[in-house]
Amino acid sequence: MANKILVFLEQRSGLIKKSSFETAKAAKKIASQLNYDLEAITIGSEINDIESTGKYGVKKITFFKDEKLANYSSSAYAQIVADFAKQIDADILFFSNSSMGKDLAPFVSIKIGAGILMDCISLEVSGNDIIATRPVFAGKALIESKINSQKKVFTLRPNVFNIGEVQDEKAAVEVKSVDNLDLRSKVTEIKKSEGKLDVAEAEIIVSGGRGLKGPENFHLVEELASVLGAAVGASRAAVDAGWRPHSEQVGQTGKTVSPNLYVAVGISGAIQHLAGMSSSKYIVAINKDKDAPIFSIADYGIAGDIFEVLPALTEEIKKVKS
Pick out residues in 18-47 that bind other proteins (CB under 8 A). Answer: none
Cβ partners under 8 Å of residue 221, min gap 6? 206, 207, 208, 212, 232, 265, 310
User: Which residue from 165, 168, 189, 216 is in contact with other proteins, where contact means CB under 8 A?
Assistant: 189
Q: Which of 284, 294, 276 is nearest to 317 (CA)?
A: 284
Binding mask 75-114 for other proteins (x = CB under 8 A): x--x-------------------xxx-xx-xxx-xxx---
CB of residue 135 to other proteins, shortest distance in Å: 7
User: Which residue from 62, 235, 252, 268 is in contact with other proteins, where contact means CB under 8 A?
Assistant: 252
Pick out residues in 301-320 that bind other proteins (CB under 8 A). Answer: 301-305, 308-309, 312-313, 316-317, 320
**141 vs 172 by CB, closer to other proteins:** 141
Binding mask 271-290 for other proteins (x = CB under 8 A): xx-----xx-xxxx-----x
The 10 Å Cβ neighbour count of residue 63 is 17
**14 vs 245 by CB, closer to other proteins:** 245
φ and ψ of 284, to 5 deg: -115, 135
Asked if 187 interacts with other proteins (CB under 8 A), we say yes
- Total residues contacting other proteins by CB under 8 A comes to 94
Q: Which amino acid does the sequence have at 255?
A: K
Q: β-strands 122-126, 129-136: how paired? A: antiparallel
CA distances from 82 to 29, 146, 232, 270 (A): 23, 21, 37, 42
